[in-house]
Amino acid sequence: MLIEWCPEMSVGVDLLDEEHKKIISTLNDLNDAVVSNNVRLGLKKYLEEMIKCCEEHFIHEEALFLGVDYPGKERHIEEHRKTREYLLDARIKFERGELDNLSPKMMEFLKWWLLNHIQETDMRYVPYLHQPKT
Ligand SMILES: [Fe+2]
Ligand SMILES: [Fe+2]
């Protein structure tokens, strides 16, 4: 297992915590696929799942930002956009046969991104969530 969700990662909104857990478990599955004997099948399945659950989650987070005065929202949305782009790019390369497997560098990046995004970037909106927009 690459990463495990822990209570310190909670953003205090059940739906978002559940989505973070799902993204983490999908990344773990993706990592297992990368080291498995059936790389192509695993990669196809979990890369797709990763794109889907990140997409849903980003939409939910960004919708919440609309209702609060969170000053980092633009930067945050930009981080989501870049991540989406990275994953979609990996899928295109995979479909074209240019990507037989995710390299250790790509897995390291995704792991780093996930931990950094949940523990740093996401944590910054937490204080604003319960304050109505002024
Ligand atoms: Fe998040
Ligand atoms: Fe986020």
pLDDT of amino acid 9: 96
- Phi and psi angles of residue 117, each rounded to the nearest 5 degrees, phi first: -70, -45
Distance in Å, CA 119 to ligand 2 centroid: 10
Closest ligand to Cα 62: 2
Distance in Å, CA 105 to ligand 2 centroid: 22
Q: Tell me the C-alpha distance between 42 and 44, whole Å.
A: 5
Residues with CB under 5 A from ligand 1 (ion): 122
Closest ligand to Cα 80: 2
Distance in Å, CA 15 to ligand 1 centroid: 10
pLDDT of amino acid 56: 98
Delineate the domains of the chain, giving CATH numbers in brackets: 14-129 (1.20.120.50)
Parts of the chain with a pLDDT under 70: 132-134
If you compute the radius of gyration of the chain from its CA atoms, what whole number of angstroms results? Answer: 16
pLDDT of amino acid 102: 86
Q: Tell me the C-alpha distance between 33 and 52, whole Å.
A: 17
pLDDT of amino acid 130: 79
Distance in Å, CA 107 to ligand 2 centroid: 19
Closest ligand to Cα 83: 2
Residue 49 contacts residue 26 (beta carbons within 8 Å): yes
Distance in Å, CA 133 to ligand 1 centroid: 21
